Structure 1
Amino acid sequence: MARHIVLGAGGIGRSVAHALISAGEDAVLVSRSDRDLGPDGATAVALDVTDETRLADLATGARTIVNALNPSAYTHWERDWPPMAKAVLAAAERSGAGLITVSNLYGYGLVDGPITERTALRPNGVKGHVRVEMWEQALAAHAAGRARVSEVRASDYIGPATLGTSLVSGMLIKPILKGRSPWLPMGRVDAPHSWTYDGDVAALVRALALSDGDADWGRAWHVPTDAPATFAQLGEEVATITGAKARPVHVMPRSMVTIGGLVVPLLAELRETRHQFERPFVLDSSDAQARFELAPTPRHTAVEETVAALRAAGIKG
């Protein structure tokens, strides 16, 4: 049994801890809170991850550090991410634990065609630049032999573990369950988009954490993800699964969101990523599927589980 340090007690962090425990490993779930938010069998530790010394001490003897963090303020990544990323990488270097970072697709910027791990990183906004800088710093440490790093990249989440942070769960599925037509802040209802099941993130992290293959490190991996679907297709699927009346999916006018961003900072932040929902945005995860023999969870199953979790949380029509 090896020990793994999982940073972040959100839905992804808890799912990763659960996946590692299910594999017979020891998981330490780190968050700022002193509450035990982890799955059964996980050790909860309250820690500010920017405290490099304490984090390195905690990680000494661990097999991996899993960075499943996200800054609390979506509007200030350029301020909040760098000190966190710096401390986590330094702790990995000092402790000798492998570093697996859970990331997203922001770094690719505007793309044409399916996105593979070999697609150039060309961010078109602040958040993408922050993610690329984090990865390049980690990769430089790996190339210099100071650390062993890898990164898993997912598209937008769907699934029962990320109800509070998933666009499709909160703004499309939830309204349909309440008998209302969804209104989305950006995108086109007919643009194909990849949706990553949150449990598949944990499955890939676990596979990497348990891997002894040198070639599995020093590179990024895309989380196994099912075929893309449009907002309209997802709305129809939710209606079919729930037996609810099919509701049209609406998108707020682009100009309205742009103007709203002048007074609502969160709306202004959407400009960087709205291309992902206005044109085809498709993730190719064939590398990870082949290497780790991981099949993506079927989208229908992901929608069913998300609906069940929302209903269990009290969201009903």
Structure 2
Amino acid sequence: MIHTILGAGGPVGNALTKELLENGENVRLVSRRPIQTTGNTTWVNADLKNYQQVVAAVQGAKIIYMCAGLRYDKKVWATEWPMIMQNLINAAKTTGARLIFFDNVYMYGHVPGPMTEETPYNPSSKKGEVRARIAENLMGEAKAGNINASIARAADFYGAESLNSFYDAMVLAKYAKKQKAMWLGNPGSLHSFTYVPDAGKALYCLGQHSESGNQIWHVPTAPALTGHQFIQLAAKAFNVPPKFTKVNKLMLQALGLFNKSIGETAELYYQYQYDYNFTSSKFEKAFGLKPTTYADGVQQLSQTLFKPV
């Protein structure tokens, strides 16, 4: 069986690749940038906006994992995500392969309680509107019986090599260098973070269980903590004082004048100002896969990815 990862080379794609290889699977890595291969992997160059390239890249695959991300720009998302999703849907129809789409929670918008797979879409941002539209398109095709597709959703990441997580970049990386941390939004609010290795395990698990098809799944994620608790955990792991600076929306917008990616985060500030409580009990009960605790995850990262120099 060939497992094909679209958007290979990113944090989640790498975590999934590791799981697949450790379990003796054959993996096809699809990306625009070359990726070093091993005995059980092959690399294919493809632009996901090009349907013919997508179809060629997934030929012979039994399972397609969509782990790609786009440039963090609402205009890019509005034009490219619908096109890419339609290409994925058409490729799944043509090949008959199962499609597992790795997703975020932007489409839920501000949720005053726990986020579950049943939470209605009520986006509070332009990016959330795009994610709602493409998710509805995908699951509409699945419910109609045209394809076999699932959505695997995660909360904000931590443990990503690329430092595209604010907890990684603004807390763990800072404490590793004995610098003061930064916390985005209200440190008294709850927040959930999905450990990247857990996301890889979850995607592999879904791929192994055909009964998971045509459903939405929240990948295993530890119960939400407050920002203050996350700061304390990190400070303990790195043996530094729990000092941090709060970053509010005005500061974020000011920083965005010099860094467009940071500026693009401003429309999602509600996620950091209010409780962001992501739950994954459906997945955990169905497959018995438990999330890494935050204490264990941060401790592991303090000895590996963010090992003090």
TM-score, length basis structure 2: 0.92
**Partners of 1:73 and 1:119 in 2: how far apart?**
24
Tell whether 2:301 aligns with 1:303. no
Q: Secondary structure at the match of 2:225?
A: coil
Q: Deviations over 1:17-54 (max 9, x none)?
A: 22122223211111101332x57632222211222223
Q: Secondary structure at the match of 1:72?
A: coil
Aligned to 1:178: 177
- Count, aligned residues: 307
Correspondence 1:134-173 to 2 at 5 A: 134-159=134-159, 161-173=160-172
Q: For 1:222-270, what per-residue CA distance to the aligned partner results, in whole angstroms no more than 9, with x for missing partners?
A: 0111121222222211221222x21322112333334554665334322
**Quick one: distance in 2 between partners of 1:151 and 1:10?**
18
Q: Distance in 1 between matches of 2:223 and 2:130?
A: 28
In the superposition, relative to structure 1, how do residues 18 and 279 fare at CA in structure 2: closer, same or farther (>3 Å)? Answer: same
- Counterpart residue number, 2:227: 231
Matched-pair identity in %: 27
Q: 1:131 is matched by which residue type in structure 2?
A: R
Instruction: Name the aligned partner's letter for residue 200 of structure 1.
Output: D
1:1-317 superposed matches below 5 A: 2-8=1-7, 9-36=9-36, 41-75=40-74, 76-159=76-159, 161-184=160-183, 186-213=184-211, 216-243=212-239, 245-261=240-256, 264-311=259-306, 316=309
Q: Which letter maps to 1:180?
A: Q
Mapped contact 1:232–1:248 kept (Cα < 8 A): no
Structure 1 gap ranges (5+): none
Mapped contact 1:163–1:310 kept (Cα < 8 A): no
Alpha-carbon separation, structure 2, partners of 1:252 and 1:267? 12
Query: For residues 57 and 188 of structure 1, what CA distance do their matches in structure 2 show?
Result: 47
Structure 2 runs not aligned, ≥5 long: none
Q: Helix, strand or coil for the counterpart of 1:310?
A: coil
Structure 2 vs 1, CA of residues 111 and 39 (structure 1 numbering), >3 Å: closer, same or farther? farther
Shift of 1:218: 1.6
Shift of 1:74: 3.7
Q: 2: distance between equivalents of 1:181 and 1:117?
A: 36
What is the TM-score when the length of structure 1 is the normalising length?
A: 0.90
- Measure, in 1, the Cα distance between the counterparts of 2:112 and 2:57: 43
